[in-house]
């Protein structure tokens, strides 16, 4: 019997790579439902799987902010079961907080937080009834530590951590494992897809000059971090496979060990001030390098 895997956000990036890898498994042990908000974007996935994968891949429309669309996708799963649910879809938002509109902030929370939670909610009864299941969530370093100019994104990803940890405690009683795959920077469309305040934006012009100059520094830092430390989606997929293949998966997996030391002051100095100082130094230090070494 095939392991049925349903993945959200498969038109690009991590979701696409994971879908391709699982659907191309030589032993054909996975049946992948690669879902995406906009089916017009399915060509890229189809190009990557090359050839026919009728028995291992199906592509379904699913917008995680639309309850109807989640339910429709669920009902189209022919096996009538999902063994592994991968909540991967997400969007970024970057810029000074004062430059963000309420509508934009809502949209980020709608996708990253409520979209993830309502996807899990929809598939939970089936998993409970079948007596087993895996829920894998693409987490972010931004869900473990605050990052300047990413307040709303971090808030959404921190919130996902809270939801998953809470669920993990309960779901042990149902033989359902929840795991977060915590990613640092990954080479995907994420930076292109994220909503970002750009230098010419009128919303940014209203922000004070000091904040704008710190934002410039941050953007340089961010560019450098992506250049030096970004992983390829294949690296992330390997970690997903570790979690999928483990008989007793951990709650958290870190894709990039280099990023763990950044979080450790949060644990060793519980008042939080050391992490804030360290991060400020790393990002805004005047040597202009901001290298995380």
Q: Which of 190, 240, 253, 254 binds ligand NAD (CB under 6 A)?
A: 190
- 15 contacts ligand NAD (rule: CB under 6 A): yes
Nearer to ligand NAD, 4 or 108 (CB): 108
- The residues in 130-149 that bind ligand NAD, with binding defined as CB under 6 A, are 138, 140
Task: Give the closest residue to 57 by CA, choosing from 11, 15, 16, 19.
Answer: 19
Q: Which of 8, 118, 122, 256 binds ligand NAD (CB under 6 A)?
A: 8
Q: How far is the CB of 78 from ligand NAD (least distance, A)?
A: 21
Residue 183 region, left (φ>0) first, then alpha (ψ -120 to 50), else beta? beta
Task: Give the closest residue to 50 by CA, choosing from 86, 23, 69.
Answer: 23
Q: Which of 5, 14, 180, 259 binds ligand NAD (CB under 6 A)?
A: 14
Q: How far is the CB of 150 from ligand NAD (least distance, A)?
A: 11
Q: Which of 85, 105, 111, 164 binds ligand NAD (CB under 6 A)?
A: 111
Contact between 252 and 139 (Cβ < 8 Å)? yes
Catalytic residue status for 254? no
Q: How far is the CB of 70 from ligand NAD (least distance, A)?
A: 9
Element housing 84 (H / E): strand 84-87
Residues with Cβ within 8 Å of 234's Cβ and at least 6 positions away in sequence, in order, are 17, 21
Neighbours of 249 (CB within 10 A): 16
Contact between 220 and 228 (Cβ < 8 Å)? no
Per-residue HEC secondary structure of 236-292 comes to HHHHHHHHHHCCCCCCEEECCHHHHHHHHHHHHCCCCHHHHHHHHHHHHCCCCCCCC
Task: List the x/- string, 64-103, binding to ligand NAD by CB under 6 A.
Answer: xx----------------------xxxx------------
Q: Which of 61, 193, 278, 292 binds ligand NAD (CB under 6 A)?
A: 193
Check 153, 218, 253, 275 and give the catalytic one: 153
Site for ligand NAD, rule CB under 6 A: 8-9, 11-15, 37, 63-65, 88-91, 111, 115, 138, 140, 183, 185-186, 188-190, 193
Q: Which residues are marked as active site? A: 153
């Amino acid at each position: 019997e095939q392991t049925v895997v349903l993945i959200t956000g498969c038109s690009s990036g991590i979701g696409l790579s994971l879908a391709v890898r699982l659907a191309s498994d030589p032993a054909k042990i996975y049946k992948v439902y690669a879902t995406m908000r906009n089916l017009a974007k399915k060509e890229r996935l189809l190009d990557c799987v090359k050839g026919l994968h009728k028995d291992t891949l199906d592509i379904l429309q699913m917008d995680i902010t639309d309850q109807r669309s989640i339910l429709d996708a669920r009902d189209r799963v022919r096996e009538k079961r999902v063994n592994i649910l991968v909540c991967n879809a997400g969007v970024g938002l970057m810029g000074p907080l004062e430059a963000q509109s309420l509508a934009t902030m809502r949209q980020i929370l709608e996708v990253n937080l409520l979209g993830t939670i309502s996807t899990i909610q929809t598939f939970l009864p089936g998993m409970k009834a079948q007596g087993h299941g895996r829920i894998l969530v693409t987490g972010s370093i931004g869900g473990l530590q605050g990052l300047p100019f990413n307040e709303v994104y971090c808030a959404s990803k921190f919130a996902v951590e809270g939801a998953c940890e809470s669920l993990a405690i309960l779901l042990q009683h149902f033989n359902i494992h929840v795991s977060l795959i915590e990613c640092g920077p990954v080479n995907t469309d994420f930076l292109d897809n994220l909503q970002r305040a750009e230098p010419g934006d009128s919303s940014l012009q209203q922000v004070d000059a000091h904040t704008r100059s710190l934002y410039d520094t941050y953007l340089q830092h961010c560019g450098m971090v992506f250049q030096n430390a970004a992983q390829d989606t294949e690296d992330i997929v390997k970690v997903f496979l570790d979690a999928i293949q483990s008989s007793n998966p951990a709650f958290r997996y870190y894709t990039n060990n280099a990023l763990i030391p950044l979080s450790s002051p949060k644990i060793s100095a519980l008042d939080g001030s050391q992490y804030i100082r360290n991060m400020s130094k790393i990002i805004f230090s005047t040597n202009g390098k901001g290298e995380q070494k």
